[in-house]
Each structure stands twice: as structure tokens, then as C-alpha cells.
Structure 1
Amino acid sequence: MKTIDKTTSALHAGHETNLTEGTRAVPIYQTTSYVFNDTDHAANLFGLKEFGYIYSRLNNPTNDILEKRLAAIEGGIGSVTFASGTAAISSTLLTLLKNGDHILASNSLYGGTFNLLNVTLPRYGIKSSFVNANQSEEIEKNINENTKVIFIESIGNPKLDIIDIEKVAKIAQKYKIPLIVDNTIATPYLIQPIDYGANLVIHSLTKYIGGQGNSLGGAVVDAGNFDWGNGNFPEITEPSKGYHGLKFFETFKAAAFLVKLRVEGLRDLGAAISPFNAFHIIQGLETLPIRIKKHSENALHIAKWLQNQEGVEWVNYPGLPSSNYHELSQKYLTNGQSGLVTFGLKGGFEAAKKFTDSTQLFSLLANIGDTKSLIIHPASTTHQQLSAEDQVQTGVFPDLIRLSIGLENVEDLKNDLKSALEQTNSKH
């Protein structure tokens, strides 16, 4: 079979049943380490002269199957999994960058990523500029000779802005800078950033791909389409001190960064995903095509309904014609716009808190992408560490409520929201 749809790949890619004693389900390889054939075999593995299993911080057969499936559905040459989405981002950036380097990022990043780039990485001499990634002139104006990464999200969280990936990719190509796209909210079933020129795609597997709210995980998928030998990344082209002078680009070509991310990023930073979590995420990945479609359908229904409710000041969802990003959603998200909806109440900050405390089906917690519906008031929780100015920049307003729409009956969800609105309106 020369061509296999990504829906099929989510069920089969990476798992050769003849290598796992005929098991139809993916086994959990709950082991820390692996027996070598002999000392020469061990030496070759440690010297990167051949690939195999050494220690589960670096790789594991269960994790390997997950990595192959993610690469297959995103259209990449391979992937590396991590203990969380944040670990995937930090390990990627710390593998790529050094003191003095510069990151150009979208100004609507998830709060945790914004803090990593704005507060933590500058302590190591890596600085970031935050721009409106849909304004080409603003991107080019902020690129300098030390800019080594452009970082965006396909759908911003919680701003729900859609970035014109193709336009940003052309600028990145012009300046020979890798484009990293966090595709967590959209998932590869709504958009594949690699098709539009992205070089690296990042996921928090904790969210829609896992989908059950039971396991943390993250991943980086490499498109294999960036020239790491262009002179801007000497640590990939020059002899490695950690591997007796091995040159990653000369040895591994298009996969140079992917190999470096595993053998240095995981080896030295240690943020490895457990095989038990990888197993759970594989189960979620198998049903993702069905789930993300239903998440999107329910979210669009709820967004339309909220527009007509008393006490609601505004509603933001890319699938609504009123959205500033509706036109881009028609280009990039023709199969659905995912499951996040944000809206604001006429009573402002206090009304938003009251509403968030009043739901019953919607669980108040700091996660998204669960099969169950979730709610949070970002200004007082997930984004409270940001200044008022930075909150607005990332799309967090005092009255903003974020809903992660689950798979429940949509009428039950509406009834829960209606009851919370009635309780809130009676107080304001």
C-alpha cells in the first residue's frame, strides 16, 4: 500500500506485530534498560554507529511506536517524544540555541510558553521578541543577525488567532531560519503545518492527542525540509565534543537535528516520557480523527448559541463569520476549528469568576482537549503571572472565559451554561 490516509496511520503506523509476539495492541515496555548483544554492539550504540535501545531516557519500544505514528500523521521524517509539551519546547530550543541567540515569536503564545521565552530563557542569554505574526512587515522588522528561530502556534491559546503559516514560512525561508509551529490545538487532523512550509511541529500530547486527561506528554516532529548546514547552526555542522568529533549534519543529513535532539536533548536534559504514558497517548491517538471532529462540531454549536445569550458581551471562535480569523480558518481549517471557545460577560472580571464557579458539567481546571468539557478564567489563574499588558498581548482580557468543549450531548452543555448565566446575571 503506497498511500495510507492519516486516519489509518493513527491505528497502524510504527507497530509491526511480528516484532511484538503478534500482539494486536501496542505493548508497554516497562523497562529502564536493554541487554546488549556484546561489548562491540554496546560501543556502536553509544557511538551512534548503529541505532537501537540503550536506556529508556533516550528511547523505548513503546515510545518508538508513538513517535513513528506522530511522524506519519504530521508528514515528517521522524519525531521525538518528551514528558510534557513544555519539555518538548524547552528541549528543542535549548538544543538549537545558545547564549546570544534570538527567538522571534508570535505575541499570542500560550502563557506557559510566553513565560519560558520571556522570563526563563533570557537568564541563559537567549532573548525573544513578540510580534503580530500575521503582519509580515512586523516579522521582518524584528529579525536580526542572531535570530535563529521563528516560533508560532497554528491556533493561539487562548486568543484563538489563526496564523497564516504559509506566509510566515516564506519569510523564514528567505532568512534561512527554521519555523517551529505548535500544533496542539488544531492537531494534524485539522491542519498539517508541514504542508505549508513549517520545519518543526510541536505537540502537547496531554491535550487532544491523548484526549483523556490522564497522561502528560509532548513531541517534536521534524519535517526534514530544513538545511541545517546553512552556516547558522555550527553546533550541528561542527565536530561534537560529546561524540568525539562526530558531525551531526555530515552524518545524518536531513535528520541531523532530530538525532541531536534525542542524543543530547534527552540525554542531557532528561525529560523523557514514561512508556506507560506513551501507551495511554497511543490509545487516544487512535480515536483522534473521530474525537476532534465532534469537538469541533460541539464547539461551533456552543459558540453560535452563546452569541444570543443575555449577559454575553462577545464570543470568539474561528468558525464564526464574526471572527477576525474566519477567512484564515476557511484556508487552513476546513475540517473544523477545534474545541476551544472563549467569550466575555458584560459584568467583567467578577462576573467571569462567578460564572466559572457556577457550572456543573464543565470542570474548573487547567487543561484543554479532554473528552469532558472544561472551563477556566485565565486572567485569575493560568495567566495571572503575566502583567496586565502582557495578558492583553496574549489575548487574555479580564472578562475572558475559556471553554474546552468536550464530547457530551450539546444540549446538556447548553443547559449547564444557561444555568450558570442565570446565576451570574442575577448577581450583576
Structure 2
Amino acid sequence: MRLETQAIHSGFDADPATRALAVPIHQTAAYAFESADHAAALFDLEVEGFRYSRISNPTVDVLEKRVAAMEGGVGALATGSGQAALYYAVSCVADHGGNIVSTPQLYGTTHTLFAYVLPRQGIEVRFAEDASPEAIEKLIDRNTRAVFSETVGNPAGNICDIGALAEVAHRNGVPLIVDNTVASPVLLRPIEHGADVVVHSLTKFMGGHGTTLGGIIVDGGRFPWGEQAERFPQFNLPDESYHGLVYREHFGERAYIARCRSVFQRTMGAVLAPMSAFLLIQGIETVALRVERHVENGRKVADFLRAHPLVEWINYAGHADSPHYALAQKYLGGRATSLMTFGVKGGMEAGKLFYDRLNLIKRVVNIGDVKSLACHPASTTHRQMPPDVQLKAGVRPETIRLSIGIEHIDDILADLDQALAATAVAASAVAAE
């Protein structure tokens, strides 16, 4: 099936009990066992099935299968938020004494996890000078457990050379983990370019309506854990908590995602609720159509801002003079995402004036909604970062991040135009004083 069809059909045909065509909401905590032996087999991971909704749930299972199919993976694990998915994804490969090498252009909370939380758990995160493969490779050593990047940086808008990063990671015996939230599988399927693990905040473009938190980890199933047994003993040696089960031997290509579920979801419990899974499934059914409009509107907004005399600069990968234009052609098929940043002439104060005068476009710290959204990262998502680290992440003091929605383009442009005009009037009044 093509992606548009997968988004509607993968993981579910009809309910076997009722023949209902919509995915049922299995609002249950537990599941009845046929016998003591059946329960034991489930808990020993000897048979497939449901035992407790902290570990798996039929509604969530459909969501996992659907996103895995869309990304071209062998399996997936849904979590209560994108941040939980990211934490599980890196913790599954790195433990005390290990390190992760990351590109510097990161979402603010991801940076907090990497810079402050993981190091207190004995996991070092090394931030490369830039997103180039050369900068990444310089930091890899025998204790490195993964390379990490966002496929499209939030809010930097940079596009990483996934194929080149995968080559560097694999040459050094580690997997490439990527966050594909901004691009979504509609624009980019990183596993096809060599990525080993894909993470999403389903809250964003996949869900698409700003109603439901959720995250997911997709396992590409290609990384050779057995060839790196010394670096990754957790996949190759018996797990005492599961009666000596060896993940690589028992699960084969699904060893990574099985360990994410069995070790991290089971014990830490960042569970996605069945109702949330149902709502996210509804959003995913239309993601391909929505992204088409997002992309179309985003291009028109970027062209409008580029031509506006009050705009100092704009960062949009769809413009031919963008440093990310060539990678947008290579990885996104020339379809730049609807996420962009720009600066109003007059610096930070002018930017804040503009931000405060938006009407249709909402001032929030979300992206990927059907509604057009705006954010001032230096005041919100990246506020905890030192100024020099903000700059490396693509955040200037005046930066405005836009996530362009699917409203009529004339209404979006009208709101931007009136906000820029109001900013100019306010700035003139201040100057006259």
C-alpha cells in the first residue's frame, strides 16, 4: 500500500467480534487469561497477546502498526508524549558510562534532556559544532551508543543529511536515531535513507488538531546488534528480569523495539491512553491531505515574508538561496515544510510587537496544528538555553517561528500583513517619543 492508503488501513481491517469498521476504543486496564499457563507464557514473552494496558493495548496496537507501516519499520511503541518516546529511544541503547553524539539544532526540551537530565544518569551527550557528518564523526568514540538528529530542526528549519549521518554512524558501529516530527513520513521516510530508529511527537502533524499528546518510536529493524555485542550487551546477553531472555535471539530484527516495551514502558509507564490513541488514529487518516495544504500555504507565506519591506530575514528551506535548499530537494522532494522562522526589522522588541498583534495566527508553543501558530522561541521553548546555545540551535533574540496551518491562504496573509503594519506604526510612535 502507498502511504496515503497505509494512513487509513494499516494495522486494522474490521473488528473481529462486531465487524465494526472504526477502530474500537478498548478502555480497559487488564485482560483475562485463559489459564495460569497462558498467563505465564504472556509474561515470559513466549506468546503474543495483551496482559496489562501499561504494556500494550489493542487500540494503541493499531496506532503502532499504522505508524510503523508508514515509516517502513518493523515495529513501534507508542508513549504518552513525544518526550517520553525520545527518552525511551536513547535510554534503550545508552546506559551509565555511554555517550550520544547529537547535532546542535534541537527542540528546547530535547536539549534540556540531553544537556541536563541524561548526564545526571551517567549518559554524556556530546553536541557537535554543526550538523555536518564531519563534525559528528569527530566526537564518536568507543563509548558512543548512538548518533542523534532531528530530520528537520525545530525551530532552526535545517535539514540534516540523513544518508551521510547514517553512513558515519554505521561506520563507527552505532545506530542513527532521528526525530521526524516536523517532516512526518508524508515528506520524509528516514529509514529509507539509513536511519535505524525514528521518533515522533504524534501531537504535531500526525495528530494534526492540537487536541492529543502522544509519542512513538519506530524500529527500522536493520541495525546489526549482534555484530556490536560488546557495545550493546543489553541485546545480546540474558536479561535477568525476563528469566534470561536474549532479545536479539528471541525477537530478531525487532529486538530494539521489544526491549523498549519490555524494559522501559513496562517499568516506567509513560502510557498512551486508548482514547488518545483513537484520536491520533483519526488525525493520521488525513495527514497526507493536510500536509499538502500545509506545504502549499507555507510556500506562499514564505514568499510573502521574503518580499515584505519590514522583514529583515527569513529562514525557509524552499527558497533557492537557502543553505538547506539542496537537502530539501534530496530528502523532501522539494516540498519544504510549513515550519519557518523570520525576523522583523527592529530586532527583538519589534519582533515582540509583531507577535503581540497577531489575531488569526495563535500565540502558542505547539506546531503541526491545522491552525496557523506562532512562537517567540527565545521567550518560551528555548528560554532556558544560554544565548550562545540558542544561536547554535537556530534561535536569535528576534526569531519568530511560524507553523502555517490549512486555513485559506488569503486570511493567513492578511493577518501577517496587518500585524507587520501595526508593528511599524507602534515602532514609529516609540521612536517619536
The bucket for the TM-score relative to the shorter chain is over 0.9
Which structure 2 residues correspond to residues 11-410 of structure 1 after superposition, within 5 A?
Answer: 11-132=8-129, 134-229=131-226, 230-231=228-229, 232-334=231-333, 336-410=335-409
Residue 133 of structure 1: CA displacement? 5.3
CA contact (8 A) 1:211 1:370 kept: yes
Distance 2:28 2:372 in 1: 35
Q: In the TM superposition, what whole-angstrom CA distance separates every residue of 1:231-271 from its partner, at most 9, and x where no partner exists?
A: 21111111112111111111111111111111111011110
CA contact (8 A) 2:104 2:131 kept: no
CA contact (8 A) 2:247 2:255 kept: yes
| 1:7 maps to which of 4, 7, 12 | 4
Distance 1:215 1:96 in 2: 28
Residue 114 of structure 1: CA displacement? 0.8
Could you say which residue in structure 2 is the equivalent of 1:412?
411
SS at match of 2:307: coil
Letter of the 1:176 partner, please give it. Answer: G
CA contact (8 A) 1:133 1:163 kept: no
**What percentage of aligned pairs have identical amino acids?**
44
Query: What is the number of equivalent residue pairs in this alignment?
Result: 425
Letter of the 1:11 partner, please give it. Answer: I
SS at match of 1:212: coil
Distance 1:23 1:320 in 2: 47
Residue 148 of structure 1: CA displacement? 0.3
Distance 1:208 1:339 in 2: 10
Cα distance, 1:22–1:132 mapped onto 2, change above 3 Å: farther
CA contact (8 A) 2:64 2:75 kept: yes
Distance 1:163 1:135 in 2: 8
Letter of the 1:270 partner, please give it. Answer: G
> Structure 1 stretch 331-340 or stretch 172-181: which is displaced more?
331-340
CA contact (8 A) 1:190 1:335 kept: no
Letter of the 1:141 partner, please give it. Answer: K
Residue 322 of structure 1: CA displacement? 2.2
Residue 51 of structure 1: CA displacement? 1.4
Cα distance, 1:20–1:200 mapped onto 2, change above 3 Å: farther
Residue 95 of structure 1: CA displacement? 2.2
Distance 1:59 1:143 in 2: 35
SS at match of 1:273: coil
Q: In the TM superposition, what whole-angstrom CA distance separates every residue of 1:191-235 from its partner, at most 9, and x where no partner exists?
A: 100010000000000000000000000001101000112221111
SS at match of 1:301: helix
Q: Which runs of 5+ in 2 are unaligned?
A: 428-433
Cα distance, 1:132–1:189 mapped onto 2, change above 3 Å: farther
Letter of the 1:122 partner, please give it. Answer: P
Distance 2:310 2:102 in 1: 35
Distance 1:102 1:68 in 2: 30
> Structure 1 stretch 186-195 or stretch 347-356: which is displaced more?
347-356
Distance 2:15 2:50 in 1: 18
Q: Which runs of 5+ in 1 are unaligned?
A: none
Residue 18 of structure 1: CA displacement? 4.7
SS at match of 2:185: coil
CA contact (8 A) 1:369 1:404 kept: yes
Q: In the TM superposition, what whole-angstrom CA distance separates every residue of 1:311-348 from its partner, at most 9, and x where no partner exists?
A: 11001111111211001111111162221121001111
CA contact (8 A) 1:211 1:371 kept: yes
Q: In the TM superposition, what whole-angstrom CA distance separates every residue of 1:89-134 from its partner, at most 9, and x where no partner exists?
A: 0012222211110000010011110110011100011111111554
Could you say which residue in structure 1 is the equivalent of 2:431?
none
Residue 31 of structure 1: CA displacement? 0.6
CA contact (8 A) 1:369 1:406 kept: yes
Distance 2:93 2:134 in 1: 25
Residue 293 of structure 1: CA displacement? 0.9
> TM-score if structure 2 supplies the norm length?
0.97
Letter of the 2:284 partner, please give it. Answer: L
CA contact (8 A) 2:235 2:255 kept: yes
